[in-house]
Structure 1
Amino acid sequence: MTLHKKTLLVTGLTLLALFGLLYLTSQLILSNSFQQLEDQYTIQNVQRAQNALDNEIKAFKSIALGWSKWDDVYHFVDDKNQAFIDSNITATAFTDSDVDLMVFVDKYNRIVLDRAFDKSTGEAIPVSPALKTLINQHDMLVNYGDVTSEWAGLLKLPQGYLMTVSLPILTSLGEGPINGALIWGRYLNTERIAQLSDALDLNVKLVGYYDLNLPQAVLTAKQNLTSDHPFFAIPENAARIAGYTVIHDLDGKPIALLRVELPRTIYAQGQQTISYFLLALVLIGITYSVVNFIHLDRSVLRWLSALSAAVTQVRTTGNLKLPINIPSHDELANLAAGLQSMLDALAVSRNQLQAANAELEQRVQARTTDLTKAIALLQVEVTERQQAQERALEASRFKSQILANVSHDSRAPLSTIMLYVESMQRGYYGPITDKQAARLEGVMTSATQLLSFINNLLDEAQLNSGSLKLNSAPFSPDHLLRDVGFVLTPQAERKGLTLAFEIDPTLPASIMGDAERLKQVVLNLIDNAIKFTDQGGITVSAMPHTETEFMLTIADTGRGIPAEAQSRIFDAFWQVDGKVKGHGVGLGLSIVKQIITLMGGTIDVTSELGHGTTFTVILPLRLPPPPQSVERASAPTLTA
């Protein structure tokens, strides 16, 4: 996948994630805010309805006060004269006062007169027996502590909800003693509830508190209405919301729910606002992403593509002199300049190698000519000097071998260079001058480093591709470390360093593993320690770690590694100090890390500047299987 596609994919996924997060946030914050505002508005309207109902009761009480403070009524409850009834307890009185029933009680709590009037038929009807029962059972309706006592509220009767007022009967001057009680009632029927709704421009209803088959919304409201929270609002659907409060009777028990239903205007406006807000954010996000992608494409991706194309062209053509130009002044331009410098250095190095190879070819040809002449002379004296003939034959064989090597190594210039440089250093072609020896040593060093670099590159490629396989076989840790010491001790001694090996006697003498790869790891770590240690020495230790693991430690007294660099020393092509010459290209520790990981182990480093470095390798401890006994062996024994 190209960088363009990756950038588009990441940008698109990021936008989707941000839009989803914004949507959830808006729903959690803005939607909840609008919901709370809607609940407050609904509860305010429930309070308006409750206040309107209270005002209706107060107005009804004001009318009843004119009757309770009337001398005629005061005397009627004592003498029960018919003239009062005939002249005052009439249909006109009920209609004018908008009262549905009247009950007169004397000071002995006896009902003197009760009258009810059906305004639809214009006829008198009996007072509800349930009301009489309530009057007999509740002293607060008939007994008063003083002339200011009264009671007004709603009662639940079989006929419906009754707006009830109970007042003490006093003289026209409002004086006592109290001579009884006057009880008026007005039914809150559908018509009166509708009038209340029209006056408030609300949909007001009374719902029986103990009615059966109540809707779930009403049941939820009942559960949430308490003395601390006397009002509750709940959405009934996407278009309507209802608010509730409780109405209590004489005993303070709930008898009804005052319900106010409203359209969800605030909620709809809130959802619309959220939609507009999200749409604006989407447009802004898309615009920003497009502008950002265009900027990224013009300032980064385009030049990366050009850089990639240039590198590909160099790889396919082999032309190290192709120019790499990035017309910018940023990190990409620095990268292009660095790559150009590297290509120039590689071109110079290749030219030097070709020149050295040509020089070696000339020398080989010259020596070959000399050898040919010598062989011709020896053939003349073959009968006289057999030993000279044998040397001539040996020289001829050597010449043939050199020619064969030259023919073979022409396909591998690096191996040819190393072969002939080493041959010349050993004097196979005659004595050489000090200047020539120094030059040959430089060529050999460069070739060795390049060969090591190529080998490391091959190992790195195999490790990265997963094609590097380990060979598991029994080996001796002691012998392995002795071989390593035999190879590297001279190198350490040339720098005046000591190289010590410590093997724990409890470590098994033979374990399973890839001895060659483990030797490569140890050689690399000790070689690094020798390179970066100026005085003191290196100590290599091998010991058991757990029942299933063993541990190798390579500790030196060298310069140490900065703390900020310790996390990167196992990265490929990375060095602690890029300015240090002759210390490789930064692949050794990367290969070590990957080989140890492939073996199922771990490697850690602890270091302090000026106090040396310690590498700790922990590997699985696997023992070779025990040899089978002769009696159980099924295969024949082979001897050499």
Structure 2
Amino acid sequence: MNLRRQTLIAIGFTMIAVVIIVMLYGFVVMEKGYADLEQRQARMEGDRAFALINDHNRAVDAILRDYAAWNETYDFAAGGGPEYLEVNLGAELFQNTKIDVMEFFDRDARYIGGAQLNRSAGELEPISPEVEAAVQRAGIIEETIRTGNATFGYIAAPAKALMVVTEPILHTDDSGPIGGAMLMITYLDEDRLAEFSTLFSRPISMAVPSRPADGIPVAANGFGVVRLNDSTIAGLTPVVDVHGGQIGLLSVEVPRDIYQNGMKTVTSFLLSALLIGAVFSALALVLIDRQVLQRMHSIILQVEKIRNSGTQHRIEGVTGDDELTGLAVSINAMVTEITSANHRYQSLAETAKELNIVIAADHRVEYMNPAAEAWFGIAWHPTLPVTTLVPEFDSELFDEAMSAVNQQRSLRRELQIEREGGLRILDATIIPAIDEQGGVGGMTMIARDVTEQRRREEERLRLARLETLGAVAASVSHQFNNLMTIVQGNLMLGRQMIDDPEMTLRFIGIADEAVARAQIETNKLVTFAHGGEPILQQIAIQKVIGEAVRVGVQDASGEVTVVVEAPALMVMVDRRQLVGAISELIRNAREATGDQGPVTVRVSTTIPWTAPAPELPPGEYVEIAISDTGQGIPESIRDRVFEVTCTTKEAACGIGLPLARSVARKHGGDVLITASGSEGTTISMLLPIQKITTTGTFLSRSPA
């Protein structure tokens, strides 16, 4: 499936999804709106029905108030005869006022007369015990007599709620004292509610705990609405007694005309919106296809043709003044630039002196420039394996090169290739070769023949080594001549003092010591000339330091202080090489102070020296630090002090530091400049150690 179809399908489904979401949202919002409107209507109807019932009770209260304010009623409550009841208590009164019970009480709240209406017979009868018990539980008679206030409200009785009104019995002029109380009750039973339903034109029912009506939640608290069926709902109004407790729910059935008519309107609206959305979506798809997708499809086809055929070099037929036209213009400019760059690269590759070889991931050589063909003496062909040109380019090297280019890194190697006339060396740089999809499709090797350059470098190093060896030989020769003069002089004195054995032995001892120092000097020449590989032996570091101090301060003034923190520390070293190296460092320190200032040699152990000398392997080392109080190493030569012939003293060859570093590195250590400034210089020699024992300090001898 091409991009055009994918885009049309995606846009189509998106538009359909948007229309559906909008319709669903509209349906939910409007449905909720009509449902809320329906519920508000149901609550209003419930409130109106409750108000109708309360209006009836108010009318009863007005009648009762007239009876309670008669003097005849007052006299009856004060102890009058039954004649009052015979005259004023009749069935017609109950029927006309639509009450069910009428009672009289004296000022002590004792019942003194009353009756209830038998609706079916149309006659009065004694009040039922259930009603009497309900009135007693409510305590409304006592409250009316005590406070003189009327009671208007509801009380609970088994199977029904009772509407009650009470009035205090007073004189006709409303004067007291209160003579008692009167009570009228209307039953809110099914018959009475049916009468209210006829007046209200809607079905009204009442639910009480002992008689739940169908579908009415007796335990509901507060106003509410319940759905009775698809066409009817009920508005619920709580009925509370005179003390504020809920005793039932008044239900008014309301037809769902608003909701049902509203949902018909919503359905019609949504169907119309769906039709309009479908038409709009179709028009939008046609417009997008013509103005965007067809033109984009044309650009893609022409780009594929430019990439595959090589005969087309421009995008044509895309007209207009919009972003797609600009895209076509940009692609044309890019194609022109790429074509020009390819021509330039091909020209450079064809005329370059460096060997240019493109290698595919399957080990084939995809391209060789003329310089490479001439150098290897092989004409390129599509199946040429790279190992034919470079045998060293085996699987291991090839995998390493591919790993580097896949990480967008370059790899540089020197390749040795056997050719007629001898071994040749190629300095090769391997870089990623990018394919048409922008990924790594192989590698490009750019190489040049550096055989003659390497030979010249080796010759230069050989000449530099000979020059260094000559300088060292001159220094050693000078020191050797001085020592031989000492040997010759002391042997001559020994012959002259042959008759004095003690003096003869003394002169011979001095000559023997000079011969030992001469051996140390000749070892320097061996170190530079033949590598001077150390002959290791286990020896205490204190003994090596003491001998090095004696050699380093010969025939000189000034004091050398030696602090050895581990005198019994054993190291594996070549004694002669190490004595010569340390003595050179002591001699340099002494000369830096003008043979006058103090020189300190401190021997201590240290943790692995990772920062100044990261090339040292992990482990413990002994540090031999030689410190002077001279002027420090000049900044101009600080980076070259370990080079042979680098010196600041006249008539010196500068072999001390190079010799010391050479010996230290042959022993697995190093020599570093750990401090240098106006207050002096500290040179540290690091050597691997074997064992640390005690701590001690001694002071070297001071030459006279």
Q: Structure 1 length normalisation: TM-score?
A: 0.53
- Is the contact between residue 524 and residue 588 of structure 1 (CA under 8 Å) also seen in structure 2? no
Q: Per-residue deviation at 1:515?
A: 2.3
Paired residue secondary structure (2:121): coil
Whole-angstrom distance in 1 between the partners of 2:159 and 2:313: 109
Contact kept in structure 1, 2:107 and 2:145, CA below 8 Å: no
Q: Is this contact kept in 2: 1:209–1:256, CA < 8 A? A: yes
Does the 8 Å contact 2:39/2:225 carry over to 1? yes
Check 1:347–1:22 CA distance in 2 against 1; reply closer, same or farther (3 A cut): closer
| Shift, 1:340, TM fit | 5.5
Please tell me the residue identity of whatever aligns with 1:218.
I
The answer to whether structure 1 residue 256 and structure 2 residue 245 are counterparts is no
CA 1:98 to 1:320, structure 2 compared with 1: closer, same or farther past 3 Å?
A: closer
The verdict on how the C-alpha distance between 1:348 and 1:271 changes in structure 2, with shifts beyond 3 A counting, is same
Instruction: Say whether residues 1:518 and 2:403 are aligned partners.
Output: yes
Aligned to 1:154: 154
CA drift of 1:62 comes to 0.7
Aligned mates of 2:225, 2:8 — CA distance in 1: 48
Q: 1:252 to 1:288 in 2, by over 3 A?
A: same
Partner Cα separation in structure 1 for residue 179 and residue 301 of structure 2: 114
Larger deviation, residues 134-143 vs 1-10: 134-143
5 Å-filtered alignment, 1:89-488, equals 89-144=89-144, 148-158=148-158, 160-211=160-211, 218-219=216-217, 222-223=219-220, 225=221, 230-310=222-302, 319-320=311-312, 324-337=316-329, 418-419=369-370, 475=396
* Cα separation, partners in 2 of 1:24 and 1:354, compared to 1, 3 Å: closer
The answer (yes or no) to whether the contact 1:167–1:182 under 8 Å persists in 2 is yes
Amino acid at match of 1:288: F
Tell me how far 1:519 sits from its aligned partner: 4.8
Q: 1:427 to 1:128 in 2, by over 3 A?
A: closer
- Cα 1:189/1:350, change in 2 over 3 Å: closer
Counterpart code for 2:400: A
The 3 A distance-change label for structure 1 pair 134 and 586 is same
Q: Deviations over 1:172-202 (max 9, x none)?
A: 2222221112122222343432332233333
Q: Partner letter of residue 43 of structure 1?
A: R
Superposed displacement of residue 68, structure 1: 1.1
Q: TM-score, with normalisation over the residues of structure 2?
A: 0.48
CA deviations over 1:297-332 (Å, ceiling 9, x no partner):
222222233344545666787644798332333343
**CA–CA distance in 1 between the matches of 2:55 and 2:235?**
20
- Percent identity reads 23
Give me the whole-angstrom Cα distance separating, in 1, the residues matched to 2:340 and 2:144: 121
Larger strand proportion of the pair:
2
Q: Distance in 2 between matches of 1:86 and 1:56?
A: 26
Structure 1 residue aligned with 2:3 = 3
Q: Distance in 2 between matches of 1:351 and 1:271?
A: 74
- Superposition CA RMSD, Å: 4.8
Q: Is the 8 Å Cα contact of residues 34 and 267 (structure 1) preserved in structure 2?
A: yes
Task: Look up the equivalent residue of 1:74 and give its one-letter code.
Answer: Y
Offset of residue 165 of structure 1? 1.9
SS of structure 2 residue aligned to 1:328: coil
Cα distance 1:138–1:299, how it changes in 2: closer, same or farther (>3 A)?
closer
Q: Which string of whole-angstrom CA distances, capped at 9 and with x for unpartnered residues, describes residues 455-476 of structure 1?
A: 9xxxxxxxxxxxxxxx997x5x
For 1:16 and 1:97, locate their aligned partners in 2 and report how far apart those are by CA, in whole Å. 67
Indicate if the aligned counterparts of 2:305 and 2:312 stay in contact, CA closer than 8 A: no
Taking the aligned partners of 1:112 and 1:472, their CA distance within structure 2 comes to 128
Residue by residue, what CA displacement relative to the aligned partner does 1:94-131 show, whole Å, maximum 9, x if unpaired? 33333333212222322222222324323332211122
Distance 1:326 1:175, change over 3 A: same
Find the residue that maps to 1:327 and give its secondary structure.
Answer: coil
CA distance in 2, matches of 1:523, 1:65: 106
Change (3 A) 1:514 1:168: same
AA matched with 1:267 = Y
| Structure 2 unaligned regions, length at least 5 | 352-365, 386-392, 413-429, 444-704
Question: In 2, are the aligned partners of 1:147 and 1:170 still within 8 Å (CA)?
Answer: no
Q: Using a 3 Å threshold, how does the CA distance of structure 1 residues 276 and 3 change in structure 2: closer, same or farther?
A: farther
Q: Structure 1 519/164 Cα, relative in aligned 2: closer, same or farther at 3 Å?
A: closer
Number of positions where the alignment pairs a residue of Structure 1 with one of Structure 2: 403
- State the shift of 1:149 in Å: 1.0
Aligned counterparts, 1:477-626, within 5 A: 514-521=399-406, 525=410, 590-592=438-440
Which entry has the higher C-alpha Rg, 1 or 2?
2
The amino acid of 1:298's aligned partner reads R
Q: Are 2:20 and 1:25 aligned?
A: no
Q: Deviations over 1:237-260 (max 9, x none)?
A: 443222222222344433221112
Q: Offset at 1:137?
A: 4.7
Segments of structure 1 that go 5 or more residues without pairing to the other structure are: 361-413, 429-443, 456-470, 481-512, 528-553, 555-582, 596-640
What SS does the corresponding residue of 1:153 show, helix, strand or coil?
Answer: strand
- Secondary structure of the residue aligned to 2:144 is coil
How far residue 285 of structure 1 moved from its aligned partner, in angstroms, is 3.2
- For 1:69 and 1:187, the matched residues in 2 are separated by 25
Whether the 8 Å contact between 2:406 and 2:432 is mirrored in structure 1 is no
Cα 1:5–1:175, aligned 2, differ >3 Å: closer, same or farther? same
Q: How many angstroms apart in 2 are the aligned matches of 1:153 and 1:354?
A: 108
Alpha-carbon offset, residue 14 of structure 1: 1.0
Q: Take 1:178 and 1:522, find their aligned partners in 2: how far apart are those partners?
A: 109
Q: Distance in 2 between matches of 1:353 and 1:64?
A: 118
Once residues 201 and 472 of structure 1 are traced to their aligned partners in structure 2, the CA distance between those partners, rounded to angstroms, is 104
The Cα shift of 1:61 comes to: 0.8
Aligned to 1:222, what secondary structure does the other structure show? Answer: coil
Deviations 1:541-561 (A, max 9, x none): xxxxxxxxxxxxx9xxxxxxx
In structure 2, the CA distance between the partners of 1:168 and 1:589, relative to structure 1 (3 Å rule), is: same
Secondary structure class of the residue paired with 2:155: strand
* 1:623-634 correspondence to structure 2 within 5 Å: none
* Mapped partners of 1:26, 1:594: distance in 2: 59
- Report the Cα distance in structure 2 between the residues aligned to 1:9 and 1:190, rounded to whole angstroms: 65
